């Protein structure tokens, strides 16, 4: 049996198409959804991410304001810009692209963003809301994972969910989200013992560790859903996940490929968060 391939490109395109009409509705009501994207320095990967984000905004109809600042921008200058964007009524989302140059304290900048515009969901206030089950912005990759699972009609409630990885940007928030969906959640990390046996109990296995092909078919329960968050660049330049796709697909019920699985969902969920933030202006 071969697993269903969970197509993140298709789902991401569906979400962006749905958002086009939400944006149109907001515009008809006098709200022009706007995302401010702040990039400091010349990191090539960050420049590519920012370009993709601007393109997605254009597609969906969100206005994007680009702030591309010099590498030598001081922490105070950046804080001043964030504070200015916080106070602007015509800005609904603020995204400061990470990583920042070493002389700037990332945490200080993230803390400065008004939580009501924290569309990346990295502010401790947003993280706190997620853990106590209150409404708020959820970071985009974890939110995208749950959306993928739901759109493939895979039940989370009552299922054994195992997450490998406990980072603040993926492992922990996706675990909280699976719990919120009434899954029974186990979190594994680099000190976990018997990881293979734990994974083998999983109805839903989410892998976010950053190690190419770490998960092999002997980790997988027959029919399980396998979500591979890993993005690893091999020596030959190819992108590969944390899960050995071909062999795991012979046992899993559904599985995400890399590329084309979780990756495309992140930007779609960012657009979703911006539209959600702009929509709050109606209430």
Q: Which residues are catalytic?
A: 53, 97, 120
Touching ligand NAP, residues 72-101 (CB under 6 A): none
Pick from 171, 173, 183, 257: which binds ligand NAP (CB under 6 A)? 171
> CA nearest 5: which of 279, 283, 259?
259
| Contact mark string toward ligand NAP, 103..142, x via CB under 6 A | --------------------------------------x-
| Contact mark string toward ligand NAP, 217..256, x via CB under 6 A | ------------xxxx------------------------
Beta-bridge partner residues of 140:
none
Pick from 50, 188, 255, 268: which binds ligand NAP (CB under 6 A)? 188
Is the CB of residue 126 less than 8 Å from the CB of residue 150? no
Q: Which is nearer to ligand NAP, 23 or 269 (CB)?
A: 269
Retrieve residue 276's tokens: 């959600």
Pick from 104, 112, 161, 170: which binds ligand NAP (CB under 6 A)? 170
Is the CB of residue 94 less than 8 Å from the CB of residue 117? yes
Retrieve residue 64's tokens: 């994007």
Does position 262 interact with ligand NAP (CB under 6 A)? The reply is yes
Helices of type H across 29-139: 44-60, 75-87, 106-112, 124-131
Give the whole-angstrom CA distance, residue 169 versus residue 151. Answer: 22
Does position 169 interact with ligand NAP (CB under 6 A)? The reply is yes
Does position 148 interact with ligand NAP (CB under 6 A)? The reply is no
Retrieve residue 220's tokens: 């997988």
Q: Which is nearer to ligand NAP, 198 or 278 (CB)?
A: 198
CA angle 132, 133, 135 (to 5 degrees): 120
Does position 173 interact with ligand NAP (CB under 6 A)? The reply is no
How many C-beta neighbours within 10 Å does residue 72 have? 10
Q: What is the total count of residues that contact ligand NAP (CB under 6 A)?
A: 25
> CA nearest 26: which of 61, 65, 66?
61
Select the residue whose beta carbon is closest to ligand NAP and give its number.
Answer: 167
Residues in contact with ligand NAP by CB under 6 A are 141, 164-167, 169-171, 188-192, 195, 208-211, 229-232, 262-263, 266
């Amino acid at each position: 049996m071969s697993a269903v391939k969970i197509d993140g490109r298709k789902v991401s395109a569906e979400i962006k198409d749905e958002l086009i009409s939400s944006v149109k509705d907001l515009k008809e009501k006098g709200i022009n959804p706007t995302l401010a994207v702040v990039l400091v320095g010349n990191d090539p990967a960050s420049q590519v991410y920012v370009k993709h984000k601007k393109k997605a905004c254009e597609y969906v109809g969100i206005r994007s304001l680009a702030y591309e600042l010099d590498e030598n921008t001081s922490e105070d200058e950046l804080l001043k810009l964030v504070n200015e964007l916080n106070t602007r009524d015509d800005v609904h989302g603020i995204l400061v692209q990470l990583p920042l140059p070493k002389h700037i304290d990332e945490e200080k900048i993230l803390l400065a963003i008004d939580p009501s515009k924290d569309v990346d969901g990295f502010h401790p206030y947003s993280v706190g809301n997620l853990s106590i089950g209150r409404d708020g912005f959820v970071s985009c990759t974890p939110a995208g994972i749950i959306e993928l699972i739901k759109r493939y009609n895979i039940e989370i409630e009552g299922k054994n969910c195992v997450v490998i990885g406990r980072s603040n940007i993926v492992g922990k928030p996706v675990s909280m989200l699976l719990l919120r969906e009434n899954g029974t959640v186990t979190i594994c990390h680099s000190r976990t013992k018997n990881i293979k046996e734990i994974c083998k109990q999983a109805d839903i296995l989410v892998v976010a560790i950053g190690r190419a092909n770490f998960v092999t078919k002997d980790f997988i329960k027959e029919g399980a859903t396998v979500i591979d968050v890993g993005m690893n660049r091999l020596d030959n330049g190819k992108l590969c996940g944390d899960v050995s796709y071909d062999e795991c697909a012979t046992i899993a019920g559904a599985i995400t490929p890399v590329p084309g699985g979780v990756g495309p969902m992140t930007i779609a969920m960012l657009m979703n968060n911006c539209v959600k933030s702009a929509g709050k202006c109606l209430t």
